Amino acid sequence: MATVALPPPQPIEPQKKNRIQVSNTKKPLFFYVNLAKRYIQQHNEVELSALGMAITTVVTIAEILKNNGLATEKKVSTSTVGMKDESKGRLVQKAKVFSGVIQHTVFHSGF
């Protein structure tokens, strides 16, 4: 039987007050857009994070914020995260994206 080397486990990050964990199954897209706008008003920046198929939702949210002049991207990073597949009982690698979006100097209330 072959031995497969797994990457070292990543430390669990504490939940930041301005971070949104995006899902593409739990809430509609504009829930996250409006939440991101509120976080920008409160914290001057928002961090969007997602796993797997929800990554496209993060990209869409960031693009909506940018195209409406509400934010600019400060940092984008990708990685993989090991997660246990409940149905198969084995460890699988999931793509993870982090997109840090920072507000422009003036927040536009209209959208």
* pLDDT for 50: 92
Separation CA 101–CA 36 (nearest Å): 9
0.85 surpassed by pTM: no
CATH at residue 72: 3.30.110.20
- pLDDT tens for each residue of 77-96: 889 888 888 787 888 888 88
Structural domain range at position 94: 19-104
Higher pLDDT, 70 or 5: 70
Edge-to-edge strand list for the sheet holding 19-22: 19-22, 45-51, 90-103, 71-85
Asked, for residue 5, whether it belongs to a domain, the answer is: no
Domain-embedded: residue 47: yes
How many domains does the chain divide into? 1
pLDDT tens for 3-37 read 555 555 555 556 678 899 999 899 999 999 999 99
Percent of the chain with pLDDT over 90: 38
